[in-house]
Amino acid sequence: MWQNQRELKVAISLLFLIPLLSGCWDSQEIEQRANVLALGVDKASEEERKKEDEISHLGKRIPIPDEEMIKVTAQIAVPGRIPLGPQQPGGSEKPVLVVEVVGHTLEDAMLNLQQEVADEIFLGHLRIIVLSEEIARHGTARFNDFLRRNPEIRRTAALVVSKESAAKYMNLDPELERIPSLYLADMVDNLSAIGKFPPSFIGLFWTIYSSKGQDPYLPYLTVIEKTTIQLNGLAYFHGDKMVGKTNPLEIGIFMAVRGVGRGGYGAFIQVPGKDESVLVRAVSRKTRTKVTLRNGKPHVSVKIQYESEIDEKESASIELSDSAILKKIETESSKSTKKAIEKLIAKTQKSKSDIFGFGEHFRAKLPHYWNRNVKTKEKWDEIYPEITFDVTVDSHIHRVGMKSK
């Protein structure tokens, strides 16, 4: 009897284990996939529209989307050419293939792309999506449905806006990296590590876009001398549409208001009473944002404390060992930073673009006011241009370098 029970248990255990022995019946070799590393999205020209074939629709027999046609440029990894180490002599073959297609939507363009590529398109390795400024100003909502539904697309992929056509970025040949898409993606990732831009990736963009009290933002890039890419500012949005951009130095101002602790930007400050200036660089920041109601209207108070260093002085006549001189430089630095912050907030108010997330502060800290007077994103868009604010900046210079004279 015991022997039979034991055999029964072994048989049942084997039955449960059989499904686990199925192996890789549905596996697919990486060489049999067309791994898309980067996508560039532009508005299609009249000539490019004529090249569209009837792949996802049959002429005018089935209604097609009213959206303007787009051109999608894909950068696809070539199997066997992706470098796994230092570049070897004679390795002149391009590691990526660049293909251009047009479509009425992003999914439509991807279906057209599949018609031109032998292997199955795979987006699991997609690192960056570049939107031209023209496309960003027209709106990003038309792409969100496809990107958010597709399980292959990582939420950590980078999303950026380009001054030039996005296709230009797909054909770049940077000297620091053999694979253009990896160079682009690493550049965006490293910007936050060195204090040049707040964390930015497509998942965060969607999160901010979905919030009721904040508008999204993206890095704004431009190409310098064909092979060099520059972070040229911050593209800010109203809803899903880009409505303006900052200059590069204003990115640091934005990060200060948002409470990003790590510094990374420096500015020339004129020494009071002299014609010379010094380069003051922010090392770290501490920000406190307080929201209140003044006469029933929303008011924001922003207090920022800077820890800075003097990296360079224009003239040897500036005595940095003099504490009185340093105090004057700190005061002047606080004053100029305060003006820059007020100017940037006022600029975003004109565009109804609350990239600072002040609305989220009111929603979290004054829920009774929000639930009674705001409730929706559309209502906050009307209120944001009318809010009042005051800014307090306290700059402290704690290092002047190894040489003070």
Q: Dump the DSSP string for 197-240.
A: S----HHHHHHHHH-SS---EEEEEEEETTTEEEEEEEEEEETT
Segment 114-166, tens digit of pLDDT:
999 888 999 999 999 999 999 999 999 989 889 999 999 999 999 999 999 99
Secondary structure element (H or E) that encloses residue 173, with its range: none
Question: Are residue 264 and residue 238 in the same domain, yes or no?
Answer: no
Last residue within a domain, chosen from 245, 276, 299? 245
Is 239 within the bounds of a domain?
yes
What is the model's pLDDT at position 8? 79
At 9, the amino acid letter reads K
Listed range (18-32, 94-108, 352-366) with the worst mean pLDDT: 18-32
Segment 236-251, tens digit of pLDDT:
999 999 999 999 999 9
Nearest to 72 by CA among 96, 119, 108: 108
Question: Are residue 59 and residue 148 in the same domain, yes or no?
Answer: yes
With H, G, I as helix, E, B as strand and everything else as coil, classify residue 288: strand
The answer to whether residues 278 and 271 touch, using CB atoms and an 8 Å cutoff, is yes
Task: Quickly state the pLDDT bin for 3 (edges 50, 70, 90).
Answer: low
What is the model's pLDDT at position 167? 93
Rounded Cα gap, residues 283 and 140, in angstroms: 35
Indicate whether 105 pLDDT > 70: yes
Question: Are residue 196 and residue 241 in the same domain, yes or no?
Answer: yes
Question: Are residue 145 and residue 262 in the same domain, yes or no?
Answer: no
In this structure, what token pair is assigned to residue 331? Answer: 């005061």
Query: Which bin fits 259, alpha (ψ -120 to 50), beta or left (φ > 0)?
Result: left
Higher pLDDT among residues 90 and 359, named by residue: 359
Is 13 within the bounds of a domain?
no
Is 9 within the bounds of a domain?
no
Span 343-368, mean pLDDT?
96
In this structure, what token pair is assigned to residue 213? Answer: 């009290």
Question: Are residue 216 and residue 355 in the same domain, yes or no?
Answer: no
Higher pLDDT among residues 188 and 54, named by residue: 188
Rounded Cα gap, residues 327 and 308, in angstroms: 13
Indicate whether 86 pLDDT > 70: no
Question: Are residue 112 and residue 256 in the same domain, yes or no?
Answer: no
Rounded Cα gap, residues 95 and 277, in angstroms: 48
Nearest to 392 by CA among 310, 305, 332, 295: 305
Is 118 within the bounds of a domain?
yes
Question: Are residue 165 and residue 312 in the same domain, yes or no?
Answer: no
Residues 6+ apart with CB under 8 A from 203: 155, 156
Work out the percent of the chain whose per-residue pLDDT is above 70: 86
Task: Quickly state the pLDDT bin for 401 (edges 50, 70, 90).
Answer: low
Task: Quickly state the pLDDT bin for 391 (edges 50, 70, 90).
Answer: very high
Higher pLDDT among residues 262 and 60, named by residue: 262
Question: Are residue 324 and residue 268 in the same domain, yes or no?
Answer: yes
Indicate whether 63 pLDDT > 70: no
What is the model's pLDDT at position 131? 96
Question: Are residue 71 and residue 150 in the same domain, yes or no?
Answer: yes
Task: Quickly state the pLDDT bin for 89 (edges 50, 70, 90).
Answer: very low
Span 264-286, mean pLDDT?
84
Secondary structure element (H or E) that encloses residue 257, with its range: helix 248-258
The answer to whether residues 74 and 111 touch, using CB atoms and an 8 Å cutoff, is no
Question: Are residue 193 and residue 124 in the same domain, yes or no?
Answer: yes
What is the model's pLDDT at position 126? 94
In this structure, what token pair is assigned to residue 142? Answer: 């038309």
Task: Quickly state the pLDDT bin for 180 (edges 50, 70, 90).
Answer: confident
Question: Are residue 321 and residue 308 in the same domain, yes or no?
Answer: yes
Strands 228-238 and 241-245: antiparallel
Last residue within a domain, chosen from 221, 245, 269? 245
Indicate whether 2 pLDDT > 60: no
Nearest to 82 by CA among 91, 74, 69, 72: 91
Range of the structural domain that residue 187 is part of = 31-82+94-245
Indicate whether 26 pLDDT > 70: no
> Residue written as tokens 């990115």?
251
Residues 6+ apart with CB under 8 A from 185: 38, 127, 128, 157, 158
What is the model's pLDDT at position 90? 46
Residues 6+ apart with CB under 8 A from 17: none
In this structure, what token pair is assigned to residue 4? Answer: 């039979």
Higher pLDDT among residues 322 and 62, named by residue: 322
Is 145 within the bounds of a domain?
yes
* CATH label of the domain that carries residue 260: 3.30.300.210
Our CA dihedral for 114, 120, 121, 122, rounded to 10 degrees, sits at 170
What is the model's pLDDT at position 87? 54
Number of domains in the chain: 2
With H, G, I as helix, E, B as strand and everything else as coil, classify residue 34: strand
Question: Are residue 317 and residue 389 in the same domain, yes or no?
Answer: yes
Indicate whether 383 pLDDT > 60: yes
Last residue within a domain, chosen from 245, 275, 305? 245
Task: Quickly state the pLDDT bin for 343 (edges 50, 70, 90).
Answer: very high
